[in-house]
């Protein structure tokens, strides 16, 4: 079999980590990003590297969202953070030296120290989490990496995704972690970014690095954070329901001010309550001081609206039945009228 083309950049990334005495790791704020950073943390401890860790500004995807380390470091690492090549280049300029990357997003980022099999044409199913890339493409496998990788895969693609990684699934089972525990652990660690709480993100990563998934499950602070976020979803849904108005045929518009970054969780619930039709949520997220537009349908394919928004210059994303975009305008005015027009047109 031919050696895959990502082998050499991935091996180089791992070798540079081993050789460095100071490393700054910037990782995504979700379960995969946290588990990936914890795997790297365990690895660096073994090699006696001194490392600092940080997440980008939560909700931001650009070089600007990534703060440089306070002191110069030997290596600057980006983990599970799928920003495009031109943004990576800007970070490279700041750090003075090329950035090391471990990722599985279709970012198109390649080259020395850029370990991302997807950028080299590999399939997404094989690389369902950045943690899998770190362990299986770069060979970074410190003690206990499997259960961390299992959490990462669960966080990104759920239990079905984990079933495509039988070795991780059985390692998790051996550690006493069933789907229920992995689901709860993912919910706990993800409540940190939903609460826009950086200290919580830090604590979650430390727990994972020190004691693994079970340490997270036993952490009272994380449990309390999760309960708060959960209550804010309930409150947000209530507030949104009381603002419901008809915005077009089969389109219901909701508004809410949210004290946590739970736009998609609230939008998903509204769509379920609505049943058929399209639920459109305009939300102001207080801790982030930003507006978001989110649309979801149980029965209609609405992805054409993503293209309409993008054509109008908005950075929308989504899936077949989900459309979402951070808004540039207060109240999402421009974004909302573009979305409603697109939804009404293709009825
Ligand atoms: Mn990921």
The pLDDT of residue 95 = 65
**If one looks up domain 7-218 in CATH, what number appears?**
3.90.1640.30
Distances (CA, A) of 169 to 34, 161, 239, 261: 19, 10, 40, 30
| Distance in Å, CA 341 to ligand 1 centroid | 33
pLDDT tens for 87-102 read 999 987 766 668 999 9
Q: Where are the domains of the chain?
A: 7-218, 233-345
Distance 247 CA to ligand 1 centre (A): 35
Q: Which residues surround ligand 1, an ion (CB under 5 A)?
A: 32, 80, 130, 156
For residue 266, the CA-to-ligand 1 centroid distance in Å is 22
Please determine, for residue 166, whether its predicted confidence score (pLDDT) is greater than 90. Answer: yes
Å from CA of 27 to ligand 1 middle: 10
pLDDT at 345 over 90: no
pLDDT of residue 260: 97
DSSP-assigned states of every residue in 114-180: EE-GGGGT--TTTT-SHHHIIIIIS----TTHHHHHHHHHHHHHHHHHHHT-HHHHHHHHHTT--HH
132: CA distance to ligand 1 center in Å? 9
* Percent of the residues in the chain that have a pLDDT greater than 70, as a whole number: 98
pLDDT digit string (tens) for 233-250? 999 999 999 999 999 999
Q: Which whole number is the average pLDDT over 212-231? A: 98
Q: Give the residue among 103, 125, 183 at the shortest CA–CA distance from 150.
A: 183
d(CA 273, CA 270): 5
Q: Fold for 233-345, please state it.
A: Diaminopimelate Epimerase; Chain A, domain 1 (3.10.310)
Residue 210 parent element (H or E): helix 198-217
Whether the domain at 7-218 and the domain at 233-345 fall into the same CATH topology: no
CA of 209 to the centre of ligand 1 (A): 17
CA of 187 to the centre of ligand 1 (A): 15
């Amino acid at each position: 079999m031919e050696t895959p083309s990502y082998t050499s950049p991935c091996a180089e990334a791992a070798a540079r980590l081993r050789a460095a005495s100071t490393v700054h790791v910037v990782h995504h704020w979700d379960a995969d990003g946290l588990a990936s950073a914890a795997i790297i943390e365990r690895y660096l401890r073994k090699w006696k590297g001194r490392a600092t860790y940080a997440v980008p500004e939560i909700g931001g995807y650009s070089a600007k969202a990534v703060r440089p380390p306070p002191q110069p470091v030997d290596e600057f690492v980006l983990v599970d953070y799928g920003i495009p090549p031109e943004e990576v280049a800007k970070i490279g300029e700041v750090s003075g030296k090329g950035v090391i990357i471990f990722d599985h997003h279709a970012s198109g980022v390649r080259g020395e120290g850029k370990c991302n099999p997807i950028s080299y044409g590999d399939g997404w199913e094989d690389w369902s989490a950045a943690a899998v890339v770190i362990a299986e493409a770069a060979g970074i496998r410190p003690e206990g990496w499997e259960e961390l990788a299992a959490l990462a895969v669960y966080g990104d693609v759920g239990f079905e995704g984990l079933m495509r990684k039988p070795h991780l699934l059985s390692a998790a089972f051996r550690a006493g972690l069933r789907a229920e525990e992995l689901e709860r652990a993912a919910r706990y660690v993800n409540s940190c970014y939903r609460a826009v709480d950086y200290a919580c993100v830090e604590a979650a990563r430390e727990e994972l690095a020190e004691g693994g998934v079970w340490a997270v499950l036993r952490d009272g602070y994380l449990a309390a954070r999760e309960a708060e976020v959960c209550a804010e979803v309930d409150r947000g849904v209530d507030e949104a329901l009381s603002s419901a108005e008809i915005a077009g045929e089969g389109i219901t518009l909701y508004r809410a001010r949210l004290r946590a970054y739970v736009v998609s969780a609230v939008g998903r619930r509204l769509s379920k309550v609505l049943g058929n039709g399209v639920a459109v949520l305009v939300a102001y997220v207080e801790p982030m001081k930003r507006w978001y537009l989110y649309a979801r349908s149980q029965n209609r394919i609405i992805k054409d609206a993503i293209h309409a928004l993008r054509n109008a210059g908005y950075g929308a994303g989504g899936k077949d039945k989900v459309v979402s975009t951070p808004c540039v305008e207060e109240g999402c005015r421009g974004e909302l009228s573009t979305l409603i027009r697109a939804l009404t047109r293709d009825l």
